[in-house]
Amino acid sequence: MSTTNQDHYIFVLMGVSGSGKSAVASQVAHELQGAFLDGDFLHPRSNIIKMSSGEPLNDNDREPWLKALNDAAFAMQRTNKVSLIVCSALKKSYRDILREGNPNLRFVYLKGDFDLIESRLKARKGHFFKTQMLVTQFETLEEPTTDERDVLVVDINQPLDGVVADTIAKIHKVC
């Protein structure tokens, strides 16, 4: 019995907070009739408690979470032609954990600059936002380089519908 389905793909929507990962993934999954998982749902209890107390996670905290996402990606691609997972995946080492054993996994990097994302976060209604959190996200971000051939880049400096359309077009090129 094969453990992978060659024509099934997982796309991890990655980027800093406020880049639109959840909104884009939700719409793309709906339009492509794909599976959708918000990676935050798989954080272990210890991470949730730590984040709730205002303490940032470190790489050791993230490792079991990333391995759980890797397992989820493996399971999703067995039964779904297109699966989308939301995960910031800011560091290459995080992306490498997600890739391991998942040859049909690709990343969709929702790329935008600091000023654009900051303005969007400030415009959110009913959302508490600290600029320092975004500064930290950009400091942590290791933008994918050309050696990461499984990364598709989508420019988010456009309306949501355009980002969704560009994401779907890039997914269609892979599938």
Closest by CA to 93, choosing from 125, 140, 136, 51, is 140
Q: What is the DSSP string of 99-141?
A: HTT-TTEEEEEEE--HHHHHHHHHH-TT----HHHHHHHHHH-
Give, in order, the Cα–Cα distances in Å from 40 to each of 98, 147, 156, 159, 166: 14, 27, 22, 25, 24
What pLDDT score does 53 carry? 83
Structural contact between residues 17 and 88, judged by C-beta atoms closer than 8 angstroms:
yes
Enumerate the β-bridge partners of residue 109.
Answer: 14, 153
- pLDDT tens digits, one per residue of 66-106: 999 999 999 999 889 999 999 999 999 999 999 999 999 99
- pLDDT tens digits, one per residue of 16-60: 999 999 999 999 999 999 999 999 999 999 998 988 887 888 999
Distance CA 167, CA 154 (A): 6
15 contact partners, CB below 8 Å, separation of at least 6:
21, 88, 109, 110, 111, 112, 156
CA of residue 108 relative to chain centroid, distance: 7
Distance CA 82, CA 72 (A): 13
Q: Which fold has domain 9-174?
A: Rossmann fold (3.40.50)
What pLDDT score does 128 carry? 62
Task: Tell me the domain boundaries of the chain.
Answer: 9-174
